[in-house]
Structure 1
Amino acid sequence: MSYQESLDFLYQALPMFQRVGAPAFKKDLTNTLQLCERLGNPHQAFKSIHIAGTNGKGSSAHALASVLQEAGYKTGLYTSPHLKSFRERIKINGQEIPETEVCTFVDEQREFLLTLKPSFFEMTVAMAFSYFAREKVDIAVIETGMGGKFDSTNVLLPVLCLITNIGLDHVQFLGDTLEKIAGEKAGIIKEKVPVIIGQTQEETTAVFQQAAREKNAPLIFAEQYVEVLPKGWKQAADMETLARYEIREADGSTWEVSMDLLGDYQAKNLPGILLASTRLNEMGYTISSGQLLQGLAKIRENTGLKGRWHILEKKPLVVCDTAHNADGFKLIIEQLHRLPHRNLYLILGMVQDKDQGQVLALLPKEARYIFCQADQPRSLPAEALKEKAALYGLQGTCIADVNTAIAYAKKNAGTDDLIFVGGSTFVVAEIKEL
């Protein structure tokens, strides 16, 4: 099979949550275990860090991978969903899995896949684990998909677990309270494996404490050890814009770190990232302070991460972000309000199987809205989104294609205006400039 034929097989022959939603979601690890057994249990052949959470797990995974790369470790990275290319999901030292590896996996496993009928995600996890094992990575950073306990990645026995935060997302699958969702995410906690909680939340603390006790797992609430204070942006020598943070440790010492991820919400991810780096050092990995700082300053360069407060243009300022739930958008809106601007344009597209009202209720009524939709089966039609937005006092126009919408906004905006593009990962994925 050619690479395109292999992709066609993966997308068309197997259920894929990214495209079809609920029918692809299963609370069962049987298929993944059978796939791994057929492949020689590759998940047992490499060390790993397992990351779950509602928001921030992707950024945290890329940040830790970047730090480990700077420290000289051959580092695997598995994340989802992808934005531009399927191969973004599986990387070693920032390099995407080669097309030939994807073709070989499909060619060799095609008949078994047709018989087993795993989900797209189950198959992709198995492909990643097989690739990491064969390439003998020193360590792999593995991001869960939607949940935790029944997520396909949860066949791992990692050296460290990180849970970033808990929010109300995918409630139809994971539960309709923070406590229920935390219970699902806590399912990644393993016997005697240290677990770091990146963001302390009153509603979920007891859930994690109970899960850790049951597994005899050392539990670390990162915010008890470090406080992160945003200090604004700075221009690096190579003209790269970096976000500065002051780190205050429990013993009173302070130091500064810079990240090339510019979203203010990274301040909530940093405690977990920093404590994970500290814990890895305690476990025998060697990460110097200089390597930590370099890794955090070069996340995008080292890993190829896109779509997190990604600046597309500066005059007018055009920013996109993959945030797609209420917790994520609260922080996005706060940052938009802090940026100096005259008029605010919001180019917005969403999926059908989310509670759009929770996000729409947060959005500023004075903004100029352009409603769009991704070319994707789960997308909410732009006209339907416009009608729903009107119920919240949000007015605008419909331009279905996101790139046409961006061109329209830039044509009408002044150089001191601000344009934001988001609402759905799929909308951001279709931006040509990304």
Structure 2
Amino acid sequence: MNYQSSLDFLLQALPMFQRVGASAFKKDLSNTLKLCAHLGDPQTRFKSIHIAGTNGKGSTAHSLASVLQEAGFKTGLYTSPHLKSFRERIKINGLEIPESEVISFVEANKSFLLALKPSFFEMTVALSFDYFARMGVDYAIVETGMGGRFDSTNIIHPILSIITNIGFDHEQFLGDSLDKIAFEKAGIIKENVPVVIGQTQPETTEVFQNKALENKASLTFADKSIQAKFNGYSTDTSGKRRIDYDIVGSSIGLQKVQLDLLGSYQAKNLPGILSALGILNEMGLQIDDKQVSAGLANIVKNTGLKGRWQILQENPLTICDTGHNMDGIQEIVGQLMSLKQERQLYMVLGMVKDKDHQKVFEKLPKEAIYIFCEADQPRSMPAESLQTLAAGFGLNGTVVSEVNAALADAKRRASAEDLIFIGGSTFVVAEINEL
């Protein structure tokens, strides 16, 4: 087999939630356990940190991986979904898994996979764990998919669990209230394993307290002791942009940090990140302030993270972001409004069918000019249907179905002083040629 045929086997031969939606979702870890047993239980051969949450878990995972790399640890990173390349999901010290490793995994296990019929996600998790174990990583940062309790990654026994926040997303699978969703995410809490909660929310606090008590797990609500305050933008000597934050209450002693992730919503992720680093130091990792600072200032450089408040062009200022649920869109709109001032805002927007569109539309600015598009995959809502629904909320615009054509149309219409945003769906951001 070559790389493309191996990838086709993973992507097309078996169900994949990212492509087909509900039919690929399982409330069962048995396939993952059987597959990893077949591989010699690689998940038991490295130390791991497990991260769940509705928003912020990807940024948190990449941030921690960057800091651990700066501290000299061989660091695995498993995240999903990918934007441009499948290999983005599995990295060691920022380097994507080689094509040869994907080929050899499929070739060696194809008969077993065909007999077991695991999902795409189950296969990918097993591939990542097998790769991390064989490469001898010191630590693996493992991000859940959409849930926690029945997420395929939840066969690990980590040294630390982190839950970033709870919001409304994937309600058809996780529940229609914050406490129900929190219960699913809390499934990553393990016996005697410390857990960090990034954001305290009244609807979910008791859920986490009960689960931690049941598992004799020490529980830390990070934002009760650590605050991160946005303190403006800065640039380094090479002209690279960063955001400055003032820090209060961190046990690692830092009072200021810079992030090269430019979404101001990272202020909500920082308490959990810094709290986790403090706990890791208590475990003996001995990560110093300089390594923390360097790791947070170079997340994109160290890990290759894409699509988080990524600036594609300066004039007009063109930004993309993968935020796609109500809370994510609310944070995005808040930052766009702070940048907008006298500028005309163009919103290049595409969404999937199985979202609560009403909750998202209610957060979007009516004064923006909309260009509705659709990503080239089955879950996308047709751009014309999106335009019709949006009009009912006073959001008016035109249809240019293909993503890059829609972005090009916005650039043609915008002046150099205007502001363009492209997003609404991870799939839309993934199709941007400039990414």
2:228 corresponds in structure 1 to: 228
1:142 touches 1:153 (CA, 8 Å); kept in 2? yes
2:257 corresponds in structure 1 to: 257
Counterpart mapping for 1:23-422 below 5 A? 23-249=23-249, 255-339=255-339, 340-422=341-423
Superposition TM-score, scaled by structure 1 size: 0.99
1:428 partner SS: helix
1:199 partner SS: coil
CA–CA distance in structure 1, aligned partners of residues 190 and 238 of structure 2: 43
Mapped pair 1:429 → 2:430: yes
C-alpha deviation, 1:418, in angstroms = 0.3
Query: Could you tell me which amino acid in structure 2 is paired with residue 413 of structure 1?
Result: A
1:369 touches 1:395 (CA, 8 Å); kept in 2? yes
CA–CA distance in structure 1, aligned partners of residues 342 and 99 of structure 2: 43
CA–CA distance in structure 2, aligned partners of residues 282 and 381 of structure 1: 51
Aligned length: 433
CA–CA distance in structure 1, aligned partners of residues 368 and 269 of structure 2: 28
CA–CA distance in structure 2, aligned partners of residues 154 and 341 of structure 1: 48
1:15 corresponds in structure 2 to: 15
Deviations 1:277-330 (A, max 9, x none): 111010011211000000000000000000000000001000000000000011
| Runs of 4 or more above 2 Å deviation | none
C-alpha deviation, 1:14, in angstroms = 0.7
1:162 touches 1:272 (CA, 8 Å); kept in 2? yes
1:420 partner SS: strand
* Structure 1 unmatched runs, 5+: none
Superposition TM-score, scaled by structure 2 size: 0.99
* Structure 2 unmatched runs, 5+: none
Deviations 1:230-274 (A, max 9, x none): 0011011121100110001179x8711000000011000000000
Aligned-pair identity (%): 64
Query: Could you tell me which amino acid in structure 2 is paired with residue 427 of structure 1?
Result: V
2:255 partner SS: strand
C-alpha deviation, 1:12, in angstroms = 1.3
C-alpha deviation, 1:375, in angstroms = 0.3
C-alpha deviation, 1:41, in angstroms = 0.1
1:224 touches 1:250 (CA, 8 Å); kept in 2? no
C-alpha deviation, 1:415, in angstroms = 1.0
Query: Could you tell me which amino acid in structure 1 is paired with residue 424 of structure 2?
Result: G
Query: Could you tell me which amino acid in structure 2 is paired with residue 222 of structure 1?
Result: A
CA–CA distance in structure 2, aligned partners of residues 172 and 34 of structure 1: 27
CA–CA distance in structure 2, aligned partners of residues 47 and 254 of structure 1: 26
CA–CA distance in structure 1, aligned partners of residues 322 and 89 of structure 2: 16
Aligned-pair Cα RMSD in Å: 0.9
Deviations 1:48-83 (A, max 9, x none): 000000000000000000000000000000000000
CA–CA distance in structure 2, aligned partners of residues 359 and 413 of structure 1: 24
CA–CA distance in structure 2, aligned partners of residues 76 and 184 of structure 1: 25
